[in-house]
Chain A
């Protein structure tokens, strides 16, 4: 039995990620139990943990702090594989510029920034914000989570704030990058932690493969 806890701290729709996990679990012929829960004990007893996030960072962090989710996530990463998605990934950073500046969990050093009102592509064309839709993710290194996923596969993104792919990327464990008027850190891999700015549960085959890999991942590089 593979027990996956999806941390429910009241922010947004967790149905999609739960359904996608159940789907890939059955593809693996695995007994998979997906629990969408705020209960620290259930999360503690799970084999794997999903740390989702959607909406504005201020509201997310307020609930994370109120429900003590930071400690739950820290504890989980110390003992088992954790997958942080979208605002879940952003919440791991030190800080976000969103909502006038919000302190985040600080598990990874770095600031989440706004794409800006004057975002342009290489040809000087104005780009829309949010960054919404399917973009290519360049794999920056080999990793068991990339198994079976072609380099530069497209994943579904929707966000207006991002972590830059820059000189600190290696130290942060950035393992996937995308380009959207700026260099975007699309995925981070550290011991027992995989985090993506994109939504694997909305990214059809590429995303489902990533989730399938997560169900089998031992947390090591």
Chain B
């Protein structure tokens, strides 16, 4: 037995509240990220990802307090992403209790920021988030391109090459989201995930498209992901983290059972 594959619930938050809907039968306030994070932690989540979609400056202050509150009650790794653009942003989040930060758009607009961040804070806390979209036609060799702004803006960057570059610049982990699959509940883009996983030495977190437990297991077994990230299937109690782990274990995947 060795390293377990990780299950990571993702909380999308705006102004300190979980958005995109969280429903729990026995939770007092389903919009409170601290309660939600605690609940996932108790249920056996291996990490928590907190994605801040707050736009305003004042809202960012709230985010820092939320991260502080989560970090003082949740004793598993916490990644904070969304709007991380400067070394000061990273320092603020790490000081608030984040263990890792996710860098997305800022990596595309300024790749050297990733290098500077890894040099200053260590690769172990730098997660580069890659949003990729398939751009090849069906009978072509598959090819994916990096998109920013929620999948609206193409960058012309090849996803595989980009992942290699980000690792060379010091990314310690890649959070890979398929923009084609995100929100579809039809499963990960396994081909994309496998291609990136084979291209780089660091762990890959598969994201985008999870609709059932089979998708999670496929992400590991066929997509060769080291961790799988999901939001809605857990938020709406379609499945618990425990069920997800039991299912993955049945498929022969090593998981941390609690």
Chain B neighbourhood of A130, CB < 8 A: 123-124, 172, 202-203
- Which one of B4, B73, B75, B256 lies within 8 Å of A201 (CB-CB)? B75
Contacting pair A134 B124 (CB below 8 A): no
Contacting pair A12 B3 (CB below 8 A): no
Contacting pair A56 B3 (CB below 8 A): no
Q: In this assembly, does B215 line the interface, its C-beta being within 8 Å of a C-beta of chain A?
A: no
Contacting pair B203 A128 (CB below 8 A): yes
Q: In this assembly, does A193 line the interface, its C-beta being within 8 Å of a C-beta of chain B?
A: no
- Which one of A19, A56, A135, A179 lies within 8 Å of B4 (CB-CB)? A135
Contacting pair B226 A133 (CB below 8 A): yes
CB distance from A69 to the nearest CB of B (A): 18
User: Given A134-B46, A201-B75, A205-B258, are A16 and B99 neighbors across the interface (CB < 8 Å)?
Assistant: yes
Chain B contributes a number of interface residues (CB within 8 A of A) equal to 36
Contacting pair A117 B76 (CB below 8 A): no
Chain A neighbourhood of B204, CB < 8 A: 128
Q: In this assembly, does B173 line the interface, its C-beta being within 8 Å of a C-beta of chain A?
A: yes
Closest to A87 in B: B122
Tell me how many residue pairs across A and B have CB atoms closer than 8 Å: 105
- Which one of A134, A180, A207 lies within 8 Å of B75 (CB-CB)? A207
Q: In this assembly, does A80 line the interface, its C-beta being within 8 Å of a C-beta of chain B?
A: no
Chain B neighbourhood of A127, CB < 8 A: 3
CB distance from A202 to the nearest CB of B (A): 5
Contacting pair B202 A129 (CB below 8 A): yes
Q: Scoring A residues 139 to 177 as 1 if CB is less than 8 Å from chain B, else 0, what string do you get?
A: 000000000000010101111100000000000000000
Q: In this assembly, does B130 line the interface, its C-beta being within 8 Å of a C-beta of chain A?
A: no
Q: In this assembly, does B237 line the interface, its C-beta being within 8 Å of a C-beta of chain A?
A: no
User: Given A132-B173, A201-B75, are A12 and B94 neighbors across the interface (CB < 8 Å)?
Assistant: yes
Chain A neighbourhood of B6, CB < 8 A: 133-134
Given known contacts A13-B98, A134-B4, A208-B75, what 4 new A-B pairs fall within 8 Å (CB)? A13-B97, A15-B95, A117-B201, A133-B227
A-B contact pairs, 12 of them (CB 8 A): A12-B121, A15-B68, A23-B75, A55-B124, A128-B201, A128-B203, A130-B203, A133-B5, A133-B227, A134-B4, A154-B4, A179-B1
A residues with CB within 8 A of B: 12-13, 15-16, 19-20, 22-23, 54-56, 117, 121, 127-136, 152, 154, 156-160, 178-180, 201-205, 207-208
